[in-house]
A and B are shown apart, each in its own frame.
Chain A
């Protein structure tokens, strides 16, 4: 599926098949979760990143079904197509944004998502404690969501942020790497 077709599908599904809620409620709810984790882990931001990723993974495992049901997407022919689908259909349908897919490696196994908009981070400023801006990946849940969702469609990926405007970086960028295609024989999670 071409990038333009993916964009059309994403737009169409978002307009016609998605129940919607106020975006600020989602933003504030996410913020409340991150703040709670920062308190529970007493400012150990590396642990907070891990926990956010884990929560996202749990979401991803279930989200993929919702995604497939709403979009009627077929199998992607290659990882490049997967990337376009994630950006233009997945992110569009769930967060009403379409990050840019870019910075492919020559083996077509690694790309970046650049987020112009990030509704999770509206209203957000990281704590001014001299550490959060170096250690906390505020939107790290998104990495977990990708990992969980793709695992359910036989792709083991690594996803992590390499930049976040909340940290003062010029762009918010997530790096996604295809680790391997999971063998059909193995049920996910038991390898």
Chain B
């Protein structure tokens, strides 16, 4: 990817200074109504309750909620996004951004939980395995179904999910058959890669087979710099 056209896309390659990444999904545009500097307001906390900082971060690690609740939420997310976009690519981008904001938070949580055993991944294979196992397990309670390297393009990898959980209650109308709502998951993966300094783009593609009608391939296309670094590391 050329640096030039990356500026037009919301997926700007990593820069150590977040303030100069204008279009990055991480940067929340400032709220218009926000009162200016006059508000040195302090948040109020319930006096008898623990604030989120006092609660242990592992509290909810093993807790579960109904899959139906997730499906209802996700369905509303998709429908709401659909009203505010033009076309399928745009909708997938919105879902990707939702996933991205989740991935950022999830990564922090996961690394914090790994504690002293946390390892800084420097190699492509290492980071991809972190995603297919640790990240995937933490959100879907199972590892991803496969990981492949593209034969044609050096910078492309494919992460395979035979039946993405997020799609289990989504039925895509015929005229939108290009849509794959797992773009949401692609966003999570992209955020984790970005956060670990492996910037790239991740997109979700349906590749149905007879046995696996919901099979989805997440195509990971790394930025040039990542591939360069990998070759330097040898």
Contacts and interface: CB of A to CB of B under 8 A. Distances in A.
Interface residues of B, number: 50
Contacts of A167: 44
Interface string A127-162: 111110100000000000000000000000000000
A22 to B, nearest CB: 5
Given A28-B102, A32-B98, A55-B80, 11 more contacts: A24-B61, A24-B63, A24-B106, A24-B109, A33-B76, A59-B75, A66-B68, A94-B65, A122-B59, A122-B60, A171-B46
A78 B73 CA distance: 30
A131 B39 CA distance: 10
Contacts of B141: 21-22
A39 interface: yes
Given A42-B31, A43-B31, A59-B72, A126 B64 contact: no
B49 A133 contact: no
Nearest to A28: B102
A183 interface: no
A24 B139 contact: yes
Nearest to A128: B43
A73 interface: no
Given A58-B76, A66-B68, A170-B47, A22 B140 contact: yes
A168 B44 contact: yes
B35 A24 contact: no
B141 to A, nearest CB: 6
A95 B51 CA distance: 21
B74 A29 contact: yes
B118 interface: no
Contacts of A126: 43
Contacts of A22: 64-65, 138-141
Interface string A6-46: 00000000100011111111111111110110111011100
B211 interface: no
Contacts of A94: 65-66, 68-69
A107 to B, nearest CB: 31
Contacts of B31: 38-39, 42-43, 127, 129
Interface string B120-144: 0000000000000000001111000
Contact of A128 (B41, B73, B74, B139): B41
Interface string B176-201: 00000000000000000000000000
Given A26-B69, A40-B84, A55-B76, A32 B101 contact: yes
16 contacts: A18-B66, A21-B141, A22-B141, A24-B138, A26-B70, A28-B102, A29-B70, A29-B98, A31-B105, A33-B80, A55-B76, A94-B65, A133-B43, A165-B46, A168-B46, A169-B46
